[in-house]
């Protein structure tokens, strides 16, 4: 069975892969890590929502540039 630590780690890897897939060469691992860490300890659902919003915002920047 997975521990909460393992579950969180898997979700962060999933989010990183999603960001890399959607942002391609615009993906910045330092920006991604900043988004993960900026709110401290939050429920995974909240973390996922915040990172998904960041990905969408980064995608929108690419459209306007």
Q: Residues 20-27: what's their mean pLDDT?
A: 97
Question: Integer distance in angstroms from the first to the last C-alpha of the chain?
Answer: 46
Q: Residues 21-46: what's their mean pLDDT?
A: 96
**pLDDT class for 64, splitting at 50, 70, 90?**
low
**pLDDT class for 62, splitting at 50, 70, 90?**
confident
Taking 60 as the threshold, does the pLDDT of residue 65 lie above it?
no
Q: Residues 39-52: what's their mean pLDDT?
A: 95
Tokens 């659902």, residue located: 45
Tokens 């915002």, residue located: 57
**pTM higher than 0.75:** yes
């Amino acid at each position: 069975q997975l521990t909460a630590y393992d579950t969180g780690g898997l979700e962060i890897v999933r989010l990183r892969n999603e960001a890399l897939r959607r942002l391609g060469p615009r993906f910045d691992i330092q920006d991604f890590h900043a988004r993960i860490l900026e709110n401290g300890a939050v429920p995974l659902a909240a973390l996922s929502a915040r990172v998904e919003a960041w990905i969408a915002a980064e995608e929108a920047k690419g459209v306007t540039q």
